Amino acid sequence: AVEWTLVKAYKDFPERDTRKDFLSDIAQAVWGRITTGQVADKSKLIEQFGLALSEKHMALYSTNEKEQKIAESLGYAGELIPTTNDYLQVVMQNHGANKVDVYMYEDIRHAIELRPDGSGLATLSIKISNKTPASGLPTYVTGENSLGAKGGLSNTWLNVFVPKGAQLLSAKINGERSVIDISCEKDKTVFSRYVIVPRGASKTVELSYELPYVLIFDKSGIHYTFDWQAQPVINKPTVTSRVTIPDSFAISELPDGFARKGHNAVYAGTLKKDKSFNFGLIDNR
């Protein structure tokens, strides 16, 4: 279905109205089968609905306030996660007025060095790769328009959401210093930049930023929680995270997926849905 609706439809139906009719027919047929119960394996349908919601390919909205609050509490409303923890969401938006999103790939590498005073130094590397084929696609997909997109070029508006109060220390693209827009949205600081990636190329954005308060000190001990929110994309980003604790600290609780490596805890995987990593720490000073 993804190949048909996002790529093949533009090849087989170059006329816009014909293509709209084709996509409309698909949508109506799918919705009709769902609402009339014409699905052989209903348990599979429920499973796929749950997957679509958890991976954010579908979001819920209700004009009923109580129903909407339930959708938000389940993480199905598509909102930024309200949190006081360390937080990250990387969002790519195609501003090229073309259809190359399906060929874009991300590799995200996150690291944070925790300090005894509760602050942290975070570094982030985002490699954006454009794997649009060199031939075989119509110009409607690869782009030849007034916004300057052509030949499969990706004009990506990159937004990096981090905790409010984060202080940007440095920004680079492919090793060269770069200017970054800084703004706020709800309880998040947002680092933004256009990243133009030609077909067959990659570009790496590197950010370094200071976080004043990431450790929680209470009667039960010391805690660090990292909430990583996923963006719904076709090609799930490969991700790594490295958490470095102070020399005088020890890890008392390690979240699933992380492996200990000395004073580091390391995670590697694919970001399909929102993650929340909770660490327990001990100060041995």
Residues in the chain: 285
Instruction: Please report the pLDDT score of residue 216 as a whole number.
Output: 96
- Judged by DSSP in three states, 102 sits in helix
Mean pLDDT value of segment 131-137: 89
CA angle (162, 92, 72) in 5-degree steps: 60
The Cα 214–Cα 224 span in angstroms is 6
pLDDT over 70 (residue 149): no
Percent of the chain with pLDDT over 70: 98
Instruction: Read off the pLDDT of residues 161-172 as tens digits, 9 standing for 90 and up.
Output: 999 999 999 999
Per-residue confidence band for 96, with pLDDT thresholds at 50, 70 and 90: confident
* Average of per-residue pLDDT across 149-175: 93
Q: What is the SS3 assignment for 51?
A: helix
- Is this structure's pTM higher than 0.85? yes
Per-residue model confidence (pLDDT) at position 11: 82
Cα 88 to the chain's mean position, in Å?
8
Q: Where are the domains of the chain?
A: 2-73, 86-283
Instruction: For residues 7-28, give the mean pLDDT.
Output: 87
pLDDT tens, residue by residue, 67-84: 999 998 888 888 888 999
Architecture of domain 86-283: Sandwich (2.60)
The predicted pLDDT at position 147 comes to: 58
pLDDT at position 42 over 90: no
d(CA 97, CA 104): 14
- Nearest CA to 201 out of 99, 129, 274, 282 is that of 129
pLDDT at residue 61 greater than cutoff 80: yes
Q: Tell me how far apart the alpha carbons of residues 19 and 25 are, in angstroms, rounded to a whole number.
A: 10
Higher pLDDT, 241 or 56: 241
* Amino acid, single-letter form, for residue 214: V
Residue 245 pLDDT class (50, 70, 90 cuts): very high
Mean pLDDT value of segment 4-17: 84
Mean of pLDDT values over 212-219:
94
